[in-house]
Structure 1
Amino acid sequence: MTKFEYDIFTVSWGHGASTDPIKAELNRRGAEGWELVATTRDESPEDDHDDEVVMFVFKRAKG
């Protein structure tokens, strides 16, 4: 039976800010064999153009 390990990457950024650092982190994890399996973001009832917070969940087979 395959065993997996999981890792969570949480990030926040403001509206209009560059997403390049986030994309670079996601690509780095992909290159290391991590598979993105879930994402979620804050769902605040009022959007005052506050920072968005996103959680990315990754898994990979334990080696």
Structure 2
Amino acid sequence: MDYDIKETGTYRFRVKAGLNSTDKDYNTGVVSDYSPEFHYVRPSKQLPTPTNLKWDPSQPGTK
């Protein structure tokens, strides 16, 4: 499962190590203990979505 955290709140996480890349079954593989609590505060303003993005291979670290 994937979740987007969009609201202010207190969250805990678990991680599942699946049997393979297609293993979505909660009952197989290994599931971690819950993480410590994570406190998230949603920003009061949302940044605008970037436009006109492009890949520039002349920049270091893009290979």
TM-score w.r.t. the length of structure 1 is 0.23
**Greater percentage in strand:** 1
**Greater percentage in helix:** 1
Bigger relative contact order, structure 1 or 2 (CA pairs below 8 A, ≥6 apart) = 1
TM-score w.r.t. the length of structure 2 is 0.23
